[in-house]
């Protein structure tokens, strides 16, 4: 009997995409379970992630693993082929640092300008661009953050790699461009055109429409950012 591997996720979640990409890159078969995170969450999601009640959840032989960065490290430990973390301890530590930096600093900063009040937008854009500049420096002209192959940091930063540009297209607010951040912008093209990534991204038209719907609901006061 084979291993039981399930991913509980949401199709438009960059955090779910992290788990999906790691498994796909390693060629690990799994069952995907779509969750209605904007409505009633399933009993299984609440059972497997009772503390945060969020996606993604990786279920491996009946044991749940939560939090997307934790899931990525677990996947890399269990399935050794095509590692997403470097072998050298220092390089591994740096990859973990940049992944955490993205979650703690970049993601909130890059997300905020699309949702904050107008009188706070200029400062929010400045802070977002500072984070993108830091990522540009970390990339240092390489194809991917870890070199020639997609690794932990690329997977962690998939929001910038794909979702950010769809938000820019819908809102008209430009944070990332080839003129402002040429290396990071080129990385986004490399990332979305990688064969495994390309096959597993949300359909672009569907994502754009979802963005419009979410923005409309936010403006109507139906949801919070």
Looking at the chain, the whole-number percentage of residues with pLDDT higher than 90 is: 92
The pLDDT of residue 218: 87
Q: How much is the mean pLDDT over the chain?
A: 96
pTM of the model: 0.96
- Using CA atoms, how far residue 70 sits from 35, 61, 79, in Å, is 20, 17, 14
Average pLDDT over residues 135-144: 96
- Using CA atoms, how far residue 38 sits from 66, 200, 212, 214, 224, in Å, is 19, 21, 15, 10, 11
pLDDT beyond 60 at 1: no
pLDDT beyond 80 at 225: no
């Amino acid at each position: 009997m084979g291993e039981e591997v399930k991913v509980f996720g949401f199709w438009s979640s960059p955090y779910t995409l992290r788990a999906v990409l790691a498994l796909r890159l390693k060629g690990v078969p799994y069952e995907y379970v779509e969750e209605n995170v904007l409505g009633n969450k399933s009993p299984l999601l609440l059972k497997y992630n009772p503390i945060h009640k969020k996606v993604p959840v990786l279920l491996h032989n009946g044991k749940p693993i939560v939090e997307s960065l934790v899931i990525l490290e677990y996947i890399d430990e269990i399935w050794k082929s095509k590692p997403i973390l470097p072998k050298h301890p220092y390089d591994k530590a740096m990859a973990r640092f940049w992944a955490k930096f993205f979650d703690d600093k970049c993601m909130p900063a890059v997300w905020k300008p699309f949702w904050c009040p107008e009188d706070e937008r200029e400062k929010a854009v400045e802070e977002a661009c500072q984070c993108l500049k830091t990522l540009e420096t970390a990339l240092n002209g390489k194809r991917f953050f870890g070199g020639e192959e997609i690794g932990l940091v690329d997977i962690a930063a998939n929001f910038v790699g794909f979702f950010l540009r769809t938000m820019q297209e819908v809102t008209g607010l430009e944070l990332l461009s080839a003129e402002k951040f040429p290396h990071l912008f080129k990385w986004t093209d490399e990332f979305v055109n990688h064969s495994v990534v390309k096959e597993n991204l949300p359909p672009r038209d569907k994502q754009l429409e979802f963005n419009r719907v979410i923005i409309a609901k936010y403006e109507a006061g139906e949801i919070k950012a």
